[in-house]
Amino acid sequence: MAKTPEPKRTISLKPCDGDVIEVSPMIAKQMQTIQSFIEDDSFIATTTIIPLPNVTAFQLSKIIDYLNYHSNSKAVADNVKESTKKFDEEFLKELEHDKLKELLHAANYLNVKEVLDFLCQAVADLIQDKSVKFVRKFFGVVNDYSVEEEEDIRRTHAWAFEGVEED
Amino acid sequence: MSVEWIELPSEILESISKLFSFYTDYLRLRAVCHSWRSSLPKNPLHFPPQLPCLMLSPRAFFHLPNHKTHLLNLPEPSNGIRYCGSSHGWLVILDDSPNVRLLNPVTRETLHLPRVNTFPDVVSFSYSNIGREYLVANPRGGVHALNLNQMRNCYVKKIVLSSSPSPCLQNCDNFAAFAIVGKGQHSLGFCKKGHDSWGFVISDEMYCWEDVVYQNGLFYAVTKEGTIAVCDIYGYESPQVTVIQTTTPFEFCGDIYYVVFSGVDMLLVARNLEQEFDNNDDGGDECNLVYRTVGFDVFKMNWSEMKWEKIESLGDRVLFLGGNSSLCLIASDFVGCLKDCIYFTDDYSDSNYDDACGKHDVGVFSLWDQSIELLPCYPRNSYSRLGWPLPIWVSPNPC
């Protein structure tokens, strides 16, 4: 008697630049964008590979790492808090500015609230107390103000623009 | 893969901006480019109270973190005005007219409170009675005349606001202003949003009100004797007032008193002044009688015994006192201010102390060693500020 195959317990995600990555339904559930795929009636979990054209393998694995770590450490004991803090710090340390920026995009695309909140905080911490020039460079934004407009903004709130770190 | 950041959804930008605790960071984020400026609201609502700066005039203010004087250039006259209050980032400004103006120096918005001639004891006002423009009744029934200057400098002692009056706030309908007024500061006045005149909560020669503060729906006024008036102007047809007599310790003998809440603790701060003769720095023979702050004592209300008890330390807290609504903050939330300290400014005007001249008295009193350090907020020649209003603390508020 032929055995029915075990139902597949993972979701297959295909980043734009690498092999398929399998994630547990619990992790996939936290990615709102993927959740909508899964809830779609035509979705067959056993065969379908979800393509993620806007996310690289690096970004996807970072996000999965983060979710995995944090879903395993929900306890509130002090030593857990401490190691979570350490994990978060290490997580950010490995990211250059460009990578951090792109990861924020990926988290936004996948709509993973937990990672998004974490990365927004990281970016806010990074640009706090920094000059406008630094913020522009960090985000790669071109200054589209005319000299007069910019002077006007600075004059109106001069105190906000003085005494900040340039980089 | 490279991403054009500028295309990032504005929700993300807004999420980042909401994580800032300091308004200066927010201002710089809005200054990045046009699209960021338009996607971040001009009046963000999420900011906690900011570290106050000292308004020297509509032209300049002193910034604590870097001890620098910055130019502000508000389109306002800097002469002939008086700051008679500062609450939630809004200055209350009096001038040579009956107008009571509210100005937010950050957003430059202006609003008006009912005019001073609408206080119940002002019998009449006319510009044509030169030198006696106002006729004011005293609680005994007599009437005396006040000119424009006297009305500006002496009639209103202080005005405090329950919240920011900004129309962009959802709860702005609860906005109320509260005033200590009258020649002997015998009266407490109030107005709510939409009122076009002031009403009195209490007007009684028995009490000379020294300071008032708003806390959780109630206004608390105090006298130099430590008496408290708890005023409820919401929820009733007419305002309710409860006057509480308190006992005070023997050290209770300050020259100026301020009331402030630190969480649930009600504090009364006594400021001690000393008279001294000041020789003009330029070597002239003329001597001026000036007042100088020499110390502070802090008392906490013990509600179960209705007793003011002296406290020796503010812990991690810091107070900002002067013509503003007295403010208590946690020092470690900010860069550039010290804990267990009182930041004070000279709010006692020449008219209160007839002979005092324009010498400034602005500094930081530290409770733990009782020392006073003056703040270098004016140019060395103190007389350069003559004609400017008395300086006042303002906690910058974007709404």
What span, in angstroms and rounded, lies between the C-alpha atoms of B52 and A136? Answer: 28
Q: How far is A96 from chain B (nearest CA, A)?
A: 13
d(CA B139, CA B147) in angstroms, rounded, equals: 19
Please give the pLDDT value at position B349.
53
More confident residue, A141 or B156: B156
CA–CA separation, A144 and B168 (whole Å): 29
Q: Which residues of B touch A136 (CB under 8 A)?
A: 32-33
- Domains in chain A: boundaries: 11-128
Find chain B residues with C-beta within 8 A of A153's C-beta: 31
Of B155, B148, B117, B152, the closest CA to residue B131 belongs to: B148
**Any CB–CB contact under 8 A between A57 and chain B?**
no
Which domains are seen in chain B, by residue range?
1-40 (no CATH), 41-394 (2.120.10)
- Chain B nearest-CA distance from A136, in A, is 6
- pLDDT at site B288: 64
The residue ranking higher by pLDDT, A161 or B3, is A161
The residues with which B357 forms a beta bridge, in sequence order, are: none
Q: Show pLDDT as tens, one digit a residue, over chain B (399 residues).
A: 444 544 668 889 999 999 998 888 999 999 999 999 999 998 898 888 899 999 988 888 888 888 888 877 787 887 889 999 999 999 999 999 999 999 999 888 999 999 999 999 999 999 999 999 999 998 788 899 999 999 998 899 999 999 999 988 877 788 999 999 998 899 999 999 999 999 999 999 999 999 999 999 999 999 999 999 999 999 778 899 999 999 999 888 899 999 999 999 999 999 999 887 766 555 455 556 677 899 999 999 999 999 999 999 999 999 999 999 999 999 999 988 999 999 999 887 554 443 344 467 889 999 999 999 988 876 544 455 566 788 899 999 998
Put simply, the answer to whether B3 touches A116 (Cβ < 8 Å) is: no
Whole-prediction pTM:
0.83
Chain-centroid distance, C-alpha B278: 28
Distance CA(B173)–CA(B200), nearest Å, equals 20
ipTM: 0.86
- A43 shares contact with chain B (CB less than 8 Å): no
CATH number of A11-128: 3.30.710.10
Q: How far apart are CA A127 and CA A129, in angstroms?
A: 6
Contacts A102 to B, Cβ<8 Å: 1, 3
Neighbours of B103 (CB within 10 A): 23
Tokens describing residue A1: 């008697």
Handedness of CA B127, B132, B135, B138 (dihedral sign): positive
Contact A159 B19 (CB under 8 A): no
> Residue A148 has what pLDDT?
94
CA distance A3 to chain B (A): 45
Q: Which residue of B has its CA nearest to A150?
A: B31
Rounded to 10 degrees, the C-alpha dihedral B23/B24/B25/B27 comes to 90
**Chains A–B, number of C-beta pairs less than 8 Å apart:** 96
- DSSP 8-state assignment for residue B373: E
Chain A residues touching B61 at Cβ < 8 A: 159
DSSP assigned state of A165: B
Residue B9 with chain A: CB contacts under 8 Å: 108
The whole-angstrom separation of Cα A79 and Cα A84 is: 9
